[in-house]
């Protein structure tokens, strides 16, 4: 998962590292696993971010550097966990797309795959987003039909080829 803002990426990594240190302050193997998974630079950036803000304190134990979470660090971690629990669940792009396609079929009545795609393309142009391919839209429409939300029937149009006609089923669906 890529984050557009580098500061947000560092903060997310630092939060994961803080959680790791809070759970297992003495285990060096956890730090090594973190550096192997992330790479040394990413680990160091996250560690530096935590130390600069006073959320973790570095101390020497012989030749090893040990990190301990401060009170501020525990409060920060608790607040971040609460914030993530309170955030409303986001719907995926696919769920939003399914809702849009279902509304289109409901509004337009019996509609072919090509007409559904043209409606979708118009919608994408108004929103300024890149549209999915025709194949993706066709697959989503088939999934809606399998779930019983729309009915589908093949239509053969001679010279112009064949298409699928979709019709809203409403409460009749499974």
Q: What is the CATH number of the domain that holds 71?
A: 1.10.10.10
Judgement on whether residues 75 and 109 belong to the same structural domain of the protein: no
Q: What share of the chain is helix, strand, coil (3-state, %, to 5)?
A: 60, 15, 20
What is the structure's pLDDT at 137?
A: 92
How many domains are there within the chain?
2
- Single out the residue in 86, 113, 144 at which a domain terminates: 86
| Token pair belonging to 102 | 């279902």
What band does 101 get if pLDDT is binned at 50, 70 and 90? Answer: very high
Least confident of 120-124, 131-135, 158-162, 168-172: 168-172
**For the stretch 112-131, what's the b/e string if a residue is b when 16 or more beta carbons lie within 10 angstroms of its beta carbon?**
bbebbbebbeeeeeeeeeeb
When the pLDDT of each residue in the chain is averaged and rounded to a whole number, the result is: 79
What band does 166 get if pLDDT is binned at 50, 70 and 90? Answer: very high
Q: What's the whole-number mean pLDDT along residues 63-92?
A: 73
What is the structure's pLDDT at 103?
A: 92
C-alpha distances out from residue 10 to 13, 57, 82, 103, Å = 5, 18, 20, 40
> How far is Cα 115 from Cα 105, in angstroms, rounded to an integer?
10
Domain for residue 1, yes or no?
Answer: no
Q: What's the whole-number mean pLDDT along residues 125-149?
A: 89
Judgement on whether residues 61 and 128 belong to the same structural domain of the protein: no
Percentage of the chain beyond pLDDT 90 is: 22
pTM of the entire predicted model: 0.47
What band does 36 get if pLDDT is binned at 50, 70 and 90? Answer: low
Domain for residue 107, yes or no?
Answer: yes
Domain extent, residue 103, equals: 93-172
Which residue from 167, 139, 136, 138 is spatially nearest to 152, judged by alpha carbons?
A: 167
């Amino acid at each position: 998962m890529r984050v557009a803002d580098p500061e947000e990426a560092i903060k997310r990594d630092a939060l994961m590292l803080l959680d790791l240190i809070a759970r297992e302050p003495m285990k060096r193997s956890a730090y090594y696993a973190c550096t192997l998974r992330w790479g040394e630079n990413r680990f160091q950036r996250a560690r530096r971010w935590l130390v600069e803000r006073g959320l973790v304190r570095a101390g020497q134990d012989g030749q090893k550097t040990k990190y301990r979470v401060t009170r501020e660090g525990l409060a920060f971690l608790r607040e971040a966990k609460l914030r993530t629990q309170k955030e409303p669940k986001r719907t995926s792009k696919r769920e939003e797309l399914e809702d849009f396609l279902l509304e289109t079929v409901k509004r337009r009545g019996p509609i072919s795959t090509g007409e559904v795609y043209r409606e979708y393309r118009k919608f994408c142009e108004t929103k300024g987003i890149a549209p999915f391919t025709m194949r993706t839209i066709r697959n989503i429409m088939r999934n809606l039909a399998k779930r019983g939300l729309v009915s589908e029937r093949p239509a053969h149009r001679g010279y112009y080829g064949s298409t699928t006609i979709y019709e809203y089923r409403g409460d009749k669906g499974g």
